[in-house]
């Protein structure tokens, strides 16, 4: 059995198509079907690795080291399943391999064209994922909005798939935005009508419509949408704004979305098992007390830059029954003296020092870490957060005032953070960092060991720099504990400073493995420590 569900978007982007796709896929997986999800990004970049988080949000890292779109994070969290780099298809990947084949002469003298060569490549990639994954149902979310020039070849491939596999095996879900007029409170359906018409013009008749709106879509509006889209009323689903994204699958299930879609795909239906999920959402909703977490970073104006970290805090918060309130602290503002540390960290229960790159803002982060350490504020440092904690410690505790990372000052006399050996000589930026999952060995008797409760763990990475082994002894003598190491024992993975209540930093990114029902251990312990300070 091979079933395919394409999810397209209408009216505008950024309306939570990823959540819609993840929610529908989750519901079908919880009926008992094996499900996988592909995100198609119609841009020319080969992957998201070289993209500015300001524009694109977080780069999500898969187990196998893919630098992917942040929607893969949603998919993993909703499906409770690890995906691979091939679950993210881009125009760059498709054209790259078609051009490579052409150069090899594989097209045997043909004129290489969008149809059929690009569309065949797209279909083959979708099939490859579905076959490798062995899944019953493959969801394919097509990024962007119907009508964009970029997405046309993907929509054409989607259209052809129905001809190839039959209409009981391929379904189309269209997610579109329904604006609400502020003056009258009226829900307008015209933009949705236009986007469905655009889809039909390409040759795709949607089977289901998910309406994204700020308010629940009433029956009469559903009826109206049904009439002009020829989708039965049962297939018009309201995905209105909710406070907690994890509510969306429940909202869709209540409206019969999973039943409707299963029937469309000619699949036997039983109610999806959602009890544990309901309990999780209830815990989040019931939390009345708050815990205030400072988020110290450089891309704080776009919170999606740190999406998985935000979600990891939410997952952990369900177990401590407190709602995390995030206070964003912009490192460049500290650096430029626009904000004072005392003001930034007043009424804060804990601080996350966020991942990052480059010089700008780094002195601001170092100043923040000093304040956090000296005021015994619980801290979780991630990646760059670990590296700058080591710099701060070397400067202010060891007294190596000019200590730095060579990423920030290549001629520092005390390079406590240096380029990884294998990074030397690499000149291409795309896909060349130390990426993906590697095992980490934890030292017995340390905080790291008690947090994870075992000797060997697996976590995901994305970095070029690391702690310089030449300084480890001196740093350790001054009180810094190195509690996690790469398997060969050479690479620092975790530091902790146990003179403080909770001062813990990881070279890896624990957020990528955090799941709603299985929070990441460092996030949980960090929140517990922070929550002891909060009222």
Which residues bind to ligand GLN, rule: CB under 6 A?
Answer: 355-357, 383-384, 387, 407, 462-465
Give 122 or 505: the residue with its C-beta nearer to ligand GLN: 505
191 vs 431, beta carbon nearer ligand GLN: 431
Residue 265 Cβ vs ligand GLN, minimum distance, rounded to whole Å: 40
CA distance 406 to 37: 39
- DSSP characters over 457-476: EEEEEEESEEE-GGGHHHHH
The three-class DSSP label of residue 160 is: helix
225 Cβ contact partners less than 8 Å away, ≥ 6 residues apart: 189, 192, 209, 211, 217, 231, 236
Query: Based on CB atoms, which residue is closest to ligand GLN, 117 or 461?
Result: 461
For the bound state, the minimum distance from the C-beta of residue 366 to ligand GLN, rounded and expressed in Å, comes to: 14
Q: Which of 383, 407, 461, 463 is catalytic?
A: 383
Nearer to ligand GLN, 5 or 313 (CB): 313
Catalytic, 509? Answer yes
Please tell me whether the peptide bond between 469 and the residue prior to it is cis, using omega within 30 degrees of 0: no
**Contact in structure between 531 and 349 (CB atoms under 8 Å):** yes
Minimal distance in Å, beta carbon 529 to ligand GLN? 22
Give catalytic status of residue 392 as yes or no: no
Burial 457-496 (b: 16+ CB within 10 A, else e): bebbbbbbbbbbeebbeebeeeebbbbbbbeeeebbbbbb
Q: Which is nearer to ligand GLN, 236 or 382 (CB)?
A: 382
CA distance readout (Å), 65 to 303, 306, 362, 391: 23, 18, 26, 27
Closest CA to 394 of 484, 506, 476, 464: 476
User: Which CB sits closer to ligand GLN, 261 or 408?
Assistant: 408
Give the integer Cα–Cα distance in Å for 5 and 27.
13
Pick the catalytic residue from 121, 198, 511, 525: 511
Distance in Å, CB of 511 to ligand GLN, minimum: 11
Residue 408 C-beta: closest distance to ligand GLN, Å = 9
495: β partners:
482, 505
Residue 283 or 303: the one with the smaller Cβ distance to ligand GLN is: 303
How many Å apart are CA 415 and CA 467, to the nearest integer?
9
CB 323 within 8 A of CB 287: yes
Using the minimum distance from each CB to ligand GLN, give the nearer residue, 165 or 357. Answer: 357
From 74, 117, 174, 509, the catalytic residue? 509
Work out how close the CB of 213 gets to ligand GLN at its nearest, in angstroms, rounded to a whole number.
36
CA atoms within 13 A on the CB side of 405: 29
Round to whole Å and give the CA distance between 153 and 42.
Answer: 9
Closest separation between CB of residue 463 and ligand GLN, Å? 3
In terms of DSSP bridges, do strands 414-419 and 434-442 run parallel, antiparallel, or are they unpaired? unpaired
What DSSP character marks residue 117?
I
- How large is the C-alpha radius of gyration of the chain? 25
Alpha helices in 48-151 (DSSP H): 53-56, 71-79, 91-104, 119-133
Segment holding 418, helix H or strand E: strand 414-419
Give the distance between the most distant pair of CA atoms in the chain.
74
Tokens of 240: 């209105």
- Choice between 245 and 383, CB closer to ligand GLN: 383
Q: Which active-site residues does the annotation give? A: 383, 509, 511
């Amino acid at each position: 059995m091979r079933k395919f569900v394409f999810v397209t978007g209408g009216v505008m982007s950024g309306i939570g198509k990823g959540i819609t796709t993840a929610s529908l896929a989750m519901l079908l997986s919880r009926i008992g079907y094996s499900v996988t999800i592909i995100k198609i990004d119609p841009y020319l970049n080969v992957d998201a690795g070289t993209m500015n988080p300001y524009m694109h949000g977080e780069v999500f890292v898969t187990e196998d080291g893919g630098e992917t779109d942040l929607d893969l994070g949603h998919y993993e969290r909703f499906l409770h399943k690890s995906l691979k780099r091939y679950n993210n298809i881009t125009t760059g990947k498709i054209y790259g391999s078609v051009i490579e084949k052409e150069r090899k002469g594989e097209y045997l003298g043909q004129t290489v064209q969008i149809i059929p060569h690009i569309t065949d490549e797209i279909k083959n990639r979708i099939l490859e994922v579905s076959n490798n994954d062995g899944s019953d149902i493959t969801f394919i979310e097509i990024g962007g909005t119907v009508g964009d020039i970029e997405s046309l070849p993907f929509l054409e491939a989607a259209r052809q798939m129905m001809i190839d596999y039959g209409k009981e095996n391929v379904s189309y879900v269209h997610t579109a935005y329904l604006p609400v007029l502020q003056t009258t409170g009226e829900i307008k359906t015209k933009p949705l009508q236009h986007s469905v018409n655009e889809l039909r013009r390409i040759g795709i008749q949607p089977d289901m419509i998910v309406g994204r709106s700020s308010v629940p879509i009433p029956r009469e509006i559903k009826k109206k949408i049904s009439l002009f889209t020829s989708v039965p009323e049962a297939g018009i689903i309201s995905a209105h704004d909710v406070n907690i994204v994890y509510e969306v699958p429940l909202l869709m299930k209540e409206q019969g979305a999973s039943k409707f879609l299963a029937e469309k795909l000619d699949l036997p239906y039983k109610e999806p098992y959602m009890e544990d999920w309901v309990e999780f959402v209830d815990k989040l909703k019931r939390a009345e007390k708050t815990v205030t977490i400072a988020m110290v970073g450089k891309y704080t104006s776009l919170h999606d830059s740190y999406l998985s970290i935000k979600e990891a805090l939410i997952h952990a918060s369900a177990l401590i029954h407190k709602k995390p309130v995030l206070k964003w602290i912009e490192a460049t503002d500290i650096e430029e003296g626009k904000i004072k540390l005392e003001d930034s960290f007043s009424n804060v229960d804990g601080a996350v020092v966020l991942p990052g790159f480059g010089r700008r803002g780094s002195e601001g982060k170092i100043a923040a870490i000093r304040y956090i350490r000296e005021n015994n504020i619980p801290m979780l440092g991630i990646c760059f957060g670990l590296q700058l904690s080591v710099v701060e410690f070397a400067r202010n505790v060891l007294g190596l005032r000019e200590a730095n990372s060579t990423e920030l000052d290549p001629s520092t006399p005390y390079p406590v953070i240096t380029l990884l050996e294998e990074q030397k000589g690499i000149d291409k930026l795309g896909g060349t960092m130390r990426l993906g999952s590697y095992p980490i060995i934890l030292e017995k008797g340390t905080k790291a060991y008690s947090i994870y409760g075992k000797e060997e763990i697996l976590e995901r990475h994305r970095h070029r720099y690391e702690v310089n082994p030449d300084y480890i002894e001196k740093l350790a003598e001054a009180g810094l504990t190195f509690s996690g190491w790469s398997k060969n024992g050479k690479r620092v993975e975790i530091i902790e400073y146990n003179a403080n209540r909770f001062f813990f930093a990881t070279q890896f990114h624990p957020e990528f493995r955090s799941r709603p029902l299985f929070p990441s251990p460092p996030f949980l312990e960090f929140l517990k420590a922070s929550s002891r300070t909060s009222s």
